[in-house]
Amino acid sequence: MQANVPFGAPALSTAIEGGGPNAIDVALVPAGKMATTAASVSPQDLSGSCEGATHFVRAAQVGAFAMAPGSRGAARTVDQIFAAVASDAAANQGGTTTKEGELEACRSAKPDAQAPVERCQAPLRLELVPLQASKAAPPEQPAAKQGEAELPALSSPCPAGTVLSGGKCSPPSFAPTHLCAASDSRACSTQCGKGDAGSCYHLGIHYLTGKDLPRDDARAAELFEKACGEGVAQACYARGKQQMRDLLSAKVPVDAAARAKVREFADKACALGDGWACFSVADWYLREGPQAVLPRDSTRAVALLRRGCDLGYGPSCSALGNMLVEGKLAAKDVAVAVGVLQRACDAGQPEDCVELGNILRTGQGAPKDGVKAIVAYTRGCSLGDMRACNAAGSVYAAGDGVPRDVAKAYALFEKGCPEKGFGAEACLSLATMYEKGTGIPKDMERAAALYEKVCGSGGCLRAAEIYQRGDGVKADPERAFSLYEQACVQWGEKKACDAFGPLLEKKDKERARAFYTEQCARTHDKAACASQKRLGGGAR
C-alpha cells in the first residue's frame, strides 16, 4: 500500500488496521511529470533545513487518481473505479473512497503541453533518489550499444522486495507479470510472453546484440514494435534506429515511405515523455550527407531538444542552451538560454556552468549578476571544471559584482590548481597572487614553481624571467635558458624565442645560426631573419 497509494491521498492505516474493506481499488491516471535535471545530489549541495535528509525528489508524476473499496478477485477498470467514487460521493459515503482530479481532463492532455491540464494535476508519485556521499554523478542508466547509439535499460522505481507490475509496485507473488531485470534474458522472455512491454524491450536488446541469445534482427524488430505500441519510448527509438541502419546499409530502398516510418518512430519516442529519447532523435533531424535519412529540420530538432530539457534530461538542456547562445540552429536568445543553461548546470554539465557564469558575469544578452555568476562557477568547480574554479576566484579577487574576498579567491584558485589534473588558468592566477603578494605573503619561489607547472600557457616564459633576473629567488641562468628553450621550441612563444636566441648565441653560434634559420623559414620573423643574416646564414 505504501508503494502504490497516490502521494496526494489520505493515509489508510486507520482503515486497514481497523478491519476495513478487504480490498481497495486504486486507479492512477498519470498525465505528466515535473522533473529536475539534477541526476545526483550530495549533502554539500543542500541548502535550508535539510538535517537528516537521505533523498531528494528527482521528479513528481501528476494526473488524477481514485480509490474505492473493492472485493478480492473482482478487478475493476479505471472508468469503473472513478464511477464508483462519484457514486459514493453522491450518496455522501466516506471511508476510504476518495479521488482527486478528473479522468476526462487527463485524457484531454497533449504530449507537448508545457503545464498540467486543469483538474489533472494531483500528485501521484514522487521519484526519490538517495543523496550521494560525493559529488561524482553516477551514469544516467546502464546501456547496451546499437551502432553509435545507446539503448538504456529500463529501471524500476519500486522499493526493494517489490516489482513493477502494470504501473504499480507489488510483491512478486502478487504480480501476474512484471518488468524483468535487463540482464536476465530468460526472465525477460518469460515476462514478455506474459505481456510485460518493458520486458519485451529488454528481450529485444538481447536479440539485437546477440550477447546471450542468437542474434536475430527480425525478432528484435518485432519485440521493439510491440513494446513501442504499448508505450515504451526507448523501444520506439530502438526500432527507428534499426530502420535507419537498414536504410543506410542499403538493405531496403530509401524512399518517402521508409523515411516516414523512421520519422513516425522518432516522433513517438519523444511524445511518450522520455527526455533521453527526445535528445537522441533530435540528432536525426540535424544530420547531413551520407548519414542523413530524415530531411534536415533544425526547427524540429530544437523542439525535440526543448521537450527533452523540459522532461529533465540534462544533455538536452545543454545542447539547446548552446544553440540559443550561438544563434546557429535556433534564433539567438541569450536571456532564454540562461534558464536552459541553469538546468544543464544543475544536471551536472560543468561546461554549461562556465557558460552560464560567463553570461551572468558580463551581462551580455542577460542582466549582469555577480552573485548568480559565482553560484554557477562554484557549481562547475565542484563538478571538476578547473576553468570554473579560476573564474569564481577571479570574480572574488576583482570584487566583480560581489564583495571582494581575497581568501575565497585564493581557495578557489588553489582548488583549480591541484597536484594532478590542474587547470592552467587557476595555476597562473595563483602564481600571480604569490608573485604580487595579493592577500598572502609574497613567495617568488612558489610563484616560479607554479608558472613552470603550466609551461604551455605562458608559465615557462614567466618562470624563466624570474630565474634569469633572480627576482626573489637565487639567479639560475641555466634553468632560465632551459625554460626559454622549452617555451620557444615546444610551445612556439615568440617572446620566449626572442629571449632564447641571444642566450643561445653566447653558448653556441653554430646552433644559434641553425635556430635562426629555422625560425626565419617557419615564421618569417624579421628579427630572426636579420640574426640569421648577421651570423652568416644567408637571408630568406
Model confidence at 234, pLDDT cuts 50, 70, 90, reads: very high
Q: Count CA atoms within 13 Å of residue 476 on its CB side.
A: 14
Inform me whether the pLDDT recorded for 387 exceeds 90.
yes
- Please say if the pLDDT value at position 236 is more than 90: yes
The pLDDT tens digits for 433-486 are: 999 999 899 999 999 999 999 998 899 999 999 999 999 999 999 999 999 999
The pLDDT confidence band at residue 145, using thresholds 50, 70 and 90, is very low
Contact (Cβ atoms closer than 8 angstroms) between residue 205 and residue 182: yes
Q: Is 170 helix (H, G, I), strand (E, B) or coil?
A: strand
The answer, yes or no, to whether residue 220 has pLDDT greater than 60, is yes
Percent of the chain past pLDDT 90, that is, above it, reads 61
Residue 141's pLDDT is: 40
Residue 53 backbone dihedrals phi, psi, to 5 degrees: -65, 140
Mean pLDDT of 379-389: 93
Handedness of CA 468, 472, 475, 478 (dihedral sign): negative
What does the pLDDT read at residue 539?
Answer: 45
* pLDDT score at 21: 54
Q: How confident is the model at residue 160 (pLDDT cuts 50, 70, 90)?
A: confident
Using 50, 70 and 90 to split pLDDT, how confident is the model at 140? very low
Provide the 10 A C-beta neighbour count for residue 323. 22
- Of 467, 456, 408, 392, nearest in space to 428 by CA: 456
pLDDT at res. 142: 39
pLDDT at 11 over 70: no
pLDDT of residue 540 exceeding 50, the answer is no
Residue 26: pLDDT band by 50, 70, 90 thresholds? Answer: confident
Segment 310-358, tens digit of pLDDT? 988 999 999 999 999 999 888 999 999 999 999 999 999 999 999 999 9
**What's the grid cell of residue 120?**
489533472
Residue type, 487: A
Residues 281, 240 contacting (CB under 8 angstroms): yes
Q: What is the pLDDT of residues 69-114, one digit of tens each?
A: 877 767 788 999 999 888 877 666 555 678 899 999 999 988 777 7
**Which grid cell is 255?**
524512399
What distance in Å separates the CA atoms of residue 504 and residue 11, rounded to the nearest whole number?
85
Q: What is the pLDDT of residue 128?
A: 85
- pLDDT at site 35: 86
What average pLDDT score do residues 421-432 get? 90
117 beta partners = none
Q: In this predicted structure, what is the pLDDT of residue 92? A: 63
Mean pLDDT computed over every residue of the chain:
87
pLDDT of residue 237: 95
The amino acid sitting at 241 is: K
Over residues 286-300, mean pLDDT? 88
* Higher per-residue confidence, 384 vs 3: 384
Q: 93 phi and psi, to 5 degrees?
A: -95, 135
Alpha helices, DSSP H only, in 124-282? Answer: 185-194, 197-209, 217-229, 233-248, 256-271, 275-282
pLDDT score of 230: 94
Highest-confidence segment of 15-24, 119-128, 203-212 = 203-212
Integer Cα distance of 501 and 16 in angstroms: 90
Higher pLDDT, 173 or 209: 209
- pLDDT in the model for residue 46: 84
> What is residue 95's predicted lDDT score, i.e. its pLDDT?
59
Residue where the block lists cell 500528485: 123
